[in-house]
Structure 1
Amino acid sequence: MAELSAVQPPETVFDDVEVPAVIHRIARGRPLRPVWRNALGGLTYEMPGFFVKFAPEGSGLPLRQEAERLAWASRFTPVPRVVDAGEDASGFWMLTEALPGRSAVDARWRANPEKAVQAIAYGLRQLHENLPVDECPFDWGVEYRLERSPRDLSHADEPHRSIPIDVAWARATDPPPVDQLVVCHGDACSPNTLLGDDGEWSGHVDLAALGTADRWADLAVASWALNWNYGPGWEPLFFTTYGIEPDPERIAYYRLLWDLGP
Structure 2
Amino acid sequence: MDSELRNKYPHHTWTSVSEGDSGAVVYHLTGEQPELYVKIAPNAPENSAFDLPGEADRLEWLARHGVPVPRLVERGADAGAAWIVTEAVRGVSAAEEWPEHQRFAVVEAMAGLARTLHDLPADECPFDHGLSIALAEARHNVANDLVDLEDLQDQYEGWSGEQLIAEVERTRPQQEQRAVCHGDLCPNNVLLDPETCEVTGVIDVGRLGVADPHSDIALAVRELAIDEDPWFGPQYAERFLEHYGVQRVDKDKVAFYQLLDELF
Please classify the TM superposition score into its range, dividing by the shorter chain length: 0.7 to 0.9
- 1:120 and 1:28, CA in 2 relative to 1: closer, same or farther beyond 3 A? same
For residues 166-225 of structure 1, what are the alpha-carbon distances to aligned partners after superposition, in whole Å with 9 as ceiling and x for unaligned? 443233224214463111101101100110132112221100001110100100111111
Q: Which residue of 2 aligns with 1:51?
A: 36
Q: Which residue of 1 aligns with 2:172?
A: 175
1:103 corresponds, among 93, 104, 114, to 93
Q: Is the 8 A contact 1:194 1:201 kept in 2?
A: yes
Q: Which residue of 1 aligns with 2:155?
A: 159
Equivalenced residues, count: 241
Q: Does 1:247 align with 2:250?
A: yes
1:116 corresponds, among 106, 113, 136, to 106
Q: Give 1:109 shift.
A: 5.9
For residues 10 and 99 of structure 2, what CA distance do their matches in structure 1 show?
Answer: 34
For residues 52 and 203 of structure 1, what CA distance do their matches in structure 2 show?
Answer: 14
Q: Is the 8 A contact 1:123 1:201 kept in 2?
A: yes
Q: Is the 8 A contact 1:57 1:89 kept in 2?
A: no
For residues 69 and 175 of structure 2, what CA distance do their matches in structure 1 show?
Answer: 26
Q: Which residue of 2 aligns with 1:146?
A: 135
List runs of 5+ in structure 2 lacking aligned partners. none
Q: Which residue of 1 aligns with 2:233?
A: 232
Determine which structure has the larger helix proportion and give its number.
2
2:18 corresponds, among 37, 44, 50, to 37
For residues 222 and 143 of structure 1, what CA distance do their matches in structure 2 show?
Answer: 22
Q: Is the 8 A contact 1:85 1:95 kept in 2?
A: yes
For residues 42 and 169 of structure 1, what CA distance do their matches in structure 2 show?
Answer: 29
Q: Is the 8 A contact 1:104 1:110 kept in 2?
A: no
- 1:24 and 1:153, CA in 2 relative to 1: closer, same or farther beyond 3 A? closer
Secondary structure, aligned partner of 1:187: coil
Q: Is the 8 A contact 1:109 1:116 kept in 2?
A: no
TM-score, normalised to structure 1, is 0.81
Q: Which residue of 2 aligns with 1:12?
A: none
For residues 36 and 153 of structure 1, what CA distance do their matches in structure 2 show?
Answer: 21
- 1:132 and 1:109, CA in 2 relative to 1: closer, same or farther beyond 3 A? farther
Larger deviation: 243-252 or 58-67? 58-67
2:199 corresponds, among 180, 198, 201, to 201
For residues 51 and 101 of structure 2, what CA distance do their matches in structure 1 show?
Answer: 32
Q: Does 1:87 align with 2:77?
A: yes
List runs of 5+ in structure 1 lacking aligned partners. 1-18
For residues 55-106 of structure 1, what are the alpha-carbon distances to aligned partners after superposition, in whole Å with 9 as ceiling and x for unaligned? 2447823222211211222111111221211134663221223333221123
- 1:222 and 1:25, CA in 2 relative to 1: closer, same or farther beyond 3 A? same
TM-score, normalised to structure 2, is 0.80
- 1:73 and 1:109, CA in 2 relative to 1: closer, same or farther beyond 3 A? farther
For residues 253 and 168 of structure 1, what CA distance do their matches in structure 2 show?
Answer: 11
Q: State the AA in 2 paired with 1:249.
A: D
Q: State the AA in 1 paired with 2:2.
A: P
For residues 93-124 of structure 1, what are the alpha-carbon distances to aligned partners after superposition, in whole Å with 9 as ceiling and x for unaligned? 21223333221123446884322212111111
For residues 121-162 of structure 1, what are the alpha-carbon distances to aligned partners after superposition, in whole Å with 9 as ceiling and x for unaligned? 111111221x32111111111110111111246132221234
CA RMSD of aligned residues (A): 2.6
- 1:252 and 1:195, CA in 2 relative to 1: closer, same or farther beyond 3 A? same
For residues 2 and 100 of structure 2, what CA distance do their matches in structure 1 show?
Answer: 33
Identity of aligned residues (%): 29
